[in-house]
Structure 1
Amino acid sequence: MRKPLFKERKFWLILASGAGAIGLIAGALLPIEKLRQVSEMPSGVVSSIQSLNSPQPSGIGTPSTVISPLVTKSANERGAALKQVTQSASSTLERDRARYLLAVDLISQNQGEKALEQLKDLEKSYPVLAAQIGVKRAQAYEVSGKQKEAAQTLQEVVKQLPKEPATAEALFTLGKKDSKFWDQALQQFPSHPRSIEIARTRLKQNPKQFPLLMLVARYGTDSEGYTELLDRIVSQFSNQLKPEDWEAIAFGYWENQVYDKGAIAYSRAPQTSLTAYRSARGLHLSGKPGATERYRQMVQQFPQSSEAGLALTRLADLAETPQMAIAYLDQVIQNFPDRAPAALVEKSKMLDKMNSGKTAAQMRQLVLTQYANSDAAAEMRWEYAQKSAKAGNIKLARQWAEPILTNNSTSEIAAEAGFWSGKWAQTIGNNDQAAKLFQKVLSDHPESYFAWRSASILGWNVGDFNSVRSMNPQVQKPLSRPELPAGSPALKELYQLGQERAAWSHWQIEFQNRVKPSIAEQFTDGVMRLGVGDNLDAIYMVGSLRDRDTPEDKAQYQQLRKNIGYWQALYPFPFVETIENWSQQRQINPMLVTALIRQESRFEPNIRSSVGAVGLMQVMPETGQYIANNIKVKEFKLADPETNIKFGTWYLDYTHAQYSNNSLLAVASYNAGPGAVSGWLSKAKTQDPDEFVESIPYSETRGYVKSVLGNYWNYLRLYNPEISQRVSQVAADHPKGN
């Protein structure tokens, strides 16, 4: 396992809070059995935080109606079309793009002379990629057997374009014969992947080169054996480390979830509110002593920082007595208004423990009145609604729940509260009101699991628990990539051309604000990671934007999530051909399989769980052996994506067969095991499937069922034209807030 599935920041389940009207980028209609034709890039990723779906101007880094449809095709598939563009396109930019891509393809086919023809003087009309063109020209000479010309071309790139990220590639190649070029690469482009490769190569020869160790520590956080390298630096070179070195090491430990060592390193880094907080939080997360004292020191040193408010809530959690907890919570309430509602709720709980029920009730009432629009108020209302429903008082339950949908529209609870308000309205025979509530859930929270349940109850063609498996939805293929919100024109142009690895390497030079990236930078980083198959971290980078807590960041995030590119980056289609193949053989809806894989592994093939589950569909080794015995396979590797999906879909078919193709029960069984599900069924007190989901005693499985089916719904609403249009229409008919 290269990286664990969960990081310290809350690893969200993208199930709640609204996205507004969602429309599909115009494209070709495809049946799901042709899903593999859907671009394997992150389909239709964001052009700008302000507007993704507006028409894009024709220019550098913007989508192309001519070139974009060709970007994801193979060299053989697009060769003739690219050649035609080079000869007949009315736009110079389109001709230049086609020439560049054609040259790239010809080099890959070892047709260097023909590639050189396409690259001749190309940098004059296409200067944004001048360095890349120079490197490609050298590669064309190389495959043509002209070593001298290749070297001369690379040296010209180094001389004429010394600051361009692509020059690192030239230095890397030249350095294979003359080490001075590697020295130059390390000095000029320390964060470039080639520089990290150089550093690691030299460290194999001499592992005690401190500057090279620190270079990898700063920029190679995703590289193999990274935490072991940090351990070696700390143990062998501790006396040479400056405070800024300790900060780099601390960040590296933190990114790789080694929180106890990260805490030690942060305590020796330059002290800011963030580093001081993390030095305490790292001890807290790892269960080491001393967290309380460090939290206290942090609050004293940085009393007005946002991290101080968070530290005080942690201190309340760690407090030995309710009285001590209340003292910390009072500081939060007084000094950090954005955290006051949640602190008041926690204070009411402490007062209950102290048998001060009257004062506790006053605290809760204060939340409901003074902070009525807060998430804390929403949670409190929902708690009261559930208690009322359980007691059989449906009318009171609705009175508590319905305001959440309008007053707390950004709360994760809003979609759930709105859906159950609709269910309760149905229970008392008010079907018209129920329909309005279901439509509002679809309008305000279209990405939620409860939007799928609402759509199903309203009779949309989205499947129900008993019919999802057999559905065969169509998907719509986006024809172009919108513009990236961050990065240079060269980066954006490489992305538009589908040059994923080159774009990723280029981004490593430009992405310097890694500790506190902007919304645009973090989103762009997620998109870049999707391009190179780092799906786990990509989805994390995009999805964790919702955890931003400053008003400015929250506003930018709310704007970003209105756009389809954000959601398509969260719900990509890696391994699409393999998924489609085995889904067809098992006769399972491919979108359901994709949804399950997204939940199990975030499309990370090398991932292993803490209990030993392996790969994309997280198959346990003993389960894998059971499946192998049934399908007569003697040797297998569960980490192999093909094998993992083959085995995982067999087991998903098996769980469906056990429960009459009911996907609710099949998915629950996939997570918890058939024995557990059978036990729940035997004790079930309801025939209502939604009530059954809420009654699942394992909180993990309860959330898992909602997550998988919520994922399925998101793939459907984003890529199926019929459902996308219906969601958009509902949003238009029921504007948010009405």
Structure 2
Amino acid sequence: MGKRLKEQLPLLLLGGISLASLALVVFFAQAAQRAMPPKQLNQAQQQRSADSEVFRLALQPAAGRAEMLQQTIASQNNQDSALARYLLATDLLAQGNGAEALTALDQSAVDQAPKALRPYVLLKQGQAQTAAGEAPIQWNELLDKYPEHSATAEARYALGKQDPNQWEALLANHPSHPRAVEVALQQLKTGTSKDKLLLVAAHGLYRDEYEASLERLTKEYGKDLTPEQWDTVGFGYWENQRYGKASEAYAKAPPSPTSLYRTARGAQIAQKRVVAIAAYQKLAQTYPNEPETGLGLIKLVDSLPSKAAIAPLDQVIKNFPDRAGEALLKKANVLEKLKSPTSAKDARTSVLNQYGASDAAAELRLSRAHKAAKANDLTTARQLVEALVTESPNSELAAEASFWSGKWAQKQGQDGNPAYERTIAQYPESYFAWRSAVMLGWEVGDFGNVRYLAPEVSLPQQRPPLPAGSDSLQILYQLGQDADAWAQWQTEFQNVQDPTVAEQFTDGVLRVGVGDNLDGIFMLTSLAWRNEANEQTEYQQLKNTPTYGQTVYPFPFANLIQTWSQQRQLNPLLVTSLMRQESRFEPKIRSVADAVGLMQVLPSTAEWVLGQIGESSTDITAQLEDPNENIKIGTWYLDYTHREYSDNSMFAVASYNAGPGNVADWVAKGYGDPDVFVHNIPFSETQGYVEAVFGGYWNYLRLYNPAISRKIAQHSASSQ
């Protein structure tokens, strides 16, 4: 995405709380929706969101809302009646009951519906007519009145199965609609077409066939592609993490800071050192003052000999003050390799003195603090972490620093509670906020007892409007019509390569709505990488809305998780968090180690587990791609790792990632303070995994458990 200059590679997916309560007790709470409507929304959207009873029924199960929808239809509120008719009709269509859906969508449903919803009412009327065995005559009005609308694309797709002209109109008038991409891919199975391959390249990023389509486009028509079309190809490869191919494509795209940076960085990741160096140098020569150049020069250093690395780092220090601290710290490391320890020490001192608010200074302070603590110089350690929190309060390391200040204060016989309370108030989403809550005695579970807790969970009553998108999109989204909302968004979201904060946020929410959790969660969390001050301000505002947390920490497969967690006596929120970390809830995802599915179980491990429970499989991979089977096997193994370590969940979770043998070796070397143990885990991947899983558990708890949510809100208010 454009402007994501704090570049990171996407995550590698890794191979009153009462025992008597149900694993997930779900009820609807008004408190979950305390948020001001985003400033981009117009007054009509805000008023409709506040007033509509139907939006408060949209997130309830279809079977449980039918009677209330009928009551709303019978009321005198014309707009709510129309929305209720529409929602009831969609439920009936999903049940295959076209005749009743057609009755619900009588003429009053069209007349009373908000103007933005009328094309979809006509669409559903035609679908109901088809399901009832009638001709979809309502689609004539839809095609006539709304020829360019997203709803019309759905009608054209259905009509095109008998009338090829409708598919041609679909491709011509709605090229970004998912149905157009589907038609293009179908037609490409029996023939070739540059235009259809370009359509897929531009609009089909979410399709499984996408990369194969790019390969075909470049192989069959590469000589004929324009620089702008190569830019589209490069973006597609980049988003699919095919960095070497992205580099080759961007090299043929129009020169820009982004295309030159990605040419260089893609080649570097693909270990094409000479190409990468040349591209970084071209970037610096062509765009000497652009932010991409500052980042590029820092990345260039990784491909240079130590002596040659000094010059580009000095260039960054001179010309890019926002990256100077990072460059100076990197220079210190280079000087160490060049056997200039005094110069390296001076450089590190300059990081603290000249760039004390930088992320590099925070990294340096925290590293020195842990070394001081290990040497039992806790006074120095506390001074360093307190300076970090003061100088770099927005650093990713600040939560950790704040927490350790409390731990080291306690070890000195002093009061650590103020530091713990600050950690929760200022960094409530962090793993260290959970550790602070444990230290303060909150009922949130600790490593030794968290597996047996079954927290109460309160899900949202309704959805607030999104920060971007048309009236049509807002209504569909708030009615819970996620597939239609996402398709509508594809026709509106034209700024794919360089979205605004509001557009990227909206895109992420809608992706999660249709089950694209991996990309959807990434779209929201990567907003943190925005560098411009106004964008950071907007991001922080959106981050504080319930929608952000509920999208980043969603609840797919809740019923299956509840069932198997209850059977294994596992905390369902711990299982949910582990699953989120392992797969982002993608049922068929594979790891580089060939682990499969939601809980990323290796086939060999799955076969062993099945043997333990007296079962077998003829196709273990297919079985692991089934959500129920994957969770059944994964939770059995998580229970096993808990039993191996006397129900210590930290050891169990670490073992799930690193294997029982490694954890046993670490424990054998000594186990005292659990926080020190986690910090000293020798595998950085496993250390991060433990913090991510328990941090996720804490976030599910703070977002959805009413008691903890209230406690955090009260705590934050009292600390202001």
TM-score of the superposition, structure 1-length normalised? 0.91
Q: Does 1:186 align with 2:161?
A: no
Distance 2:34 2:578 in 1: 22
> Which secondary structure does the structure 1 equivalent of 2:703 belong to?
helix
Q: Which letter does structure 2 place at the counterpart of 1:376?
A: A
Aligned equivalent of 1:659: 645
- CA gap of 1:58–1:365, structure 2 versus 1, over 3 A, is closer
Structure 1 residues 674 and 473: alpha-carbon distance in aligned structure 2, compared to 1, 3 A threshold = same
* Corresponding residue SS for 2:498: coil
Q: Counterparts in 2 of 1:393-412, with a 5 A limit? A: 393-412=377-396
Contact 1:51/1:563 (<8 A) preserved: no
Whether the 8 Å contact between 2:482 and 2:513 is mirrored in structure 1 is yes
TM superposition shift of 1:123: 2.6
Aligned in 2, Cα 1:494/1:349: closer, same or farther, shift over 3 Å?
A: same
Tell me which residue corresponds to 1:236: 220
Residue pairs, 1:353-364, within 5 angstroms: 353-364=337-348
Q: Which residue of 2 aligns with 1:115?
A: 101
1:562 matched to which residue of 2? 544
Alpha-carbon distance change, 295 to 419 in structure 1, aligned in 2, over 3 angstroms: same
CA gap of 1:273–1:48, structure 2 versus 1, over 3 A, is farther
Residue of structure 2 in register with 1:156 after alignment: 141
The one-letter amino acid paired with 1:73 is Q
For residues 216-262 of structure 1, give each alpha carbon's deviation from its aligned partner in whole angstroms, at most 9, with x where no partner exists. Answer: 11111121222122111111112221111111111111111111111
Indicate the residue corresponding to 1:18 in structure 2: none
Amino acid at match of 2:393: S
Q: Deviations over 1:337-374 (max 9, x none)?
A: 11111111112222333344444333323322232222
Distance 2:144 2:550 in 1: 41
1:21 is aligned to: none
Give matches, 1:72-221, under 5 Å.
72-88=59-75, 91-121=77-107, 122-126=109-113, 127-147=115-135, 150=136, 152-206=137-191, 208-221=192-205
Match of 1:669 in 2: 655
The AA in structure 2 aligned to 1:296 is Q
| Matched residue, 2:629 | 643
Unaligned runs of 5+ residues in structure 2 are: 1-5
Relative contact order (alpha carbons < 8 A, sep ≥ 6): 1 or 2 greater?
1
Task: Please state how far the C-alpha of 1:536 moved relative to its aligned partner.
Answer: 1.0
Deviation, structure 1 residue 107: 2.7
Offset at 1:504? 0.7
The answer to whether the 8 Å contact 1:50/1:559 transfers is no
Is the 1:438–1:454 contact (alpha carbons within 8 Å) kept by the matching residues of 2?
A: yes
Query: Which residue does 1:519 correspond to in 2?
Result: 501
Q: Report whether the alignment pairs 1:227 with 2:211.
A: yes
2:3 corresponds in structure 1 to: none
Q: CA deviation digits over 1:622-671, x for unaligned, max 9?
A: 10001000111122511111000000000010011111111011111111
Q: 1:661-709 CA deviation, whole Å, 9 max, x = no partner?
A: 110111111111111111111112x411111111211111111111111
Q: Is the 8 A contact 1:46 1:566 kept in 2?
A: no
CA RMSD of aligned residues (A): 2.3
The aligned runs of 1:427-438 (5 Å cut-off) are 427-431=411-415, 434-438=416-420
CA distance in 2, matches of 1:30, 1:72: 28
Shift in Å at residue 63 of structure 1? 5.2
Aligned pair partner of 1:575 in 557, 577, 587: 557
Residue of structure 2 equivalent to 1:495: 477
Give the secondary structure class of the aligned counterpart of 1:477: strand
Query: Which of 560, 563, 573 is the equivalent residue of 1:591?
Result: 573
Distance 1:333 1:699 in 2: 29
Distance in structure 2 (CA, Å) of the matches to 1:45 and 1:522: 22
Contact kept in structure 1, 2:504 and 2:523, CA below 8 Å:
yes
Q: CA deviation at 1:164?
A: 1.3
Per the alignment, residue 47 of structure 2 pairs with 59
Equivalent residues of 1:111, 1:144 under 8 A apart: yes
Residue 507 (structure 1) aligned to one of 473, 489, 501 = 489
Q: 1:656 to 1:268 in 2, by over 3 A?
A: same
Deviates more, 1:351-360 or 1:101-110: 351-360
SS in structure 1 at match of 2:74: helix
CA contact (8 A) 2:306 2:338 kept: no
Alignment-mate amino acid for residue 643 of structure 1? E
**One-letter identity of the residue aligned with 1:338:** D
Q: Which residue identity lines up with residue 586 of structure 1 in the other structure? A: R
Letter in 2 for 1:457: M
| Aligned amino acid, residue 339 of structure 1 | R
- Residues 1:176 and 1:83: Cα distance change in structure 2 (over 3 Å): same
Compute the displacement of 1:119 (Å).
Answer: 2.0
Q: 1:75 to 1:682 in 2, by over 3 A?
A: closer
Q: Percent identity?
A: 46
Q: Which residue of 2 aligns with 1:378?
A: 362
346-355 vs 132-141, greater mean Cα deviation: 346-355
Q: 1:651 to 1:190 in 2, by over 3 A?
A: same
Match of 2:332 among 342, 345, 348: 348
Offset at 1:38? 6.4
Q: Could you say what secondary structure the match of 1:329 adopts?
A: helix
Deviation at 1:34, TM superposition (A): 6.3
- The more displaced of 703-712 and 197-206 is 197-206
Q: Measure, in 2, the Cα distance between the counterparts of 1:56 and 1:395.
A: 58
Report the Cα offset of residue 534 of structure 1.
0.8
Unmatched runs of 5 consecutive residues or more in structure 1: 1-6, 15-28
- Alpha-carbon shift at residue 51 of structure 1 (Å): 11
The answer to whether residue 235 in structure 2 is matched with residue 251 in structure 1 is yes
SS of aligned partner of 2:458: strand
Deviates more, 1:307-316 or 1:119-128: 119-128
Name the CA distance, whole Å, in 1 between partners of 2:550 and 2:19. Answer: 17
1:130-181 Cα shifts (integer Å, max 9, x gaps): 111111111121122212xx1x321221111112111101111221222111
**Residues 317, 507 of structure 1: CA spacing in aligned structure 2 closer, same or farther, 3 A cutoff?**
same
Shift of 1:502: 0.4
Cα distance in structure 2, aligned partners of 1:544 and 1:198? 32
Residue-by-residue CA offset, 1:543-588 (whole Å, 9 max, x unaligned):
1111222222222222222223211211010000000000000011
Listed one character per residue, the Cα deviations across residues 481-536 of structure 1 (whole Å, up to 9, x for unaligned) are 11100100100100000101100110111111111111111111111011111111
More divergent stretch after superposition (492-501 vs 539-548):
539-548
- How many residue pairs end up in the alignment? 700
- Quote the Cα distance in structure 1 between the aligned partners of 2:665 and 2:39: 51
Deviations 1:420-439 (A, max 9, x none): 111111111002xx110110
Letter in 2 for 1:308: T
Call closer, same or farther: CA 1:406–1:50 in 2, change over 3 Å. farther
Contact 2:280 2:297 in 1 (8 A): yes
Report the equivalent of 1:629. 611
Question: AA paired with 1:205?
Answer: T
Cα distance in 1 for residues equivalent to 2:390 and 2:652: 35
Contact 2:110–2:121 under 8 Å retained in 1: yes
Aligned equivalent of 1:25? none
Shift of 1:12: 6.6
- Which residue in 2 is equivalent to 1:283? 267
Is the alpha carbon distance of 1:564 and 1:298 closer, same or farther for their aligned partners in structure 2, counting shifts above 3 Å?
Answer: same
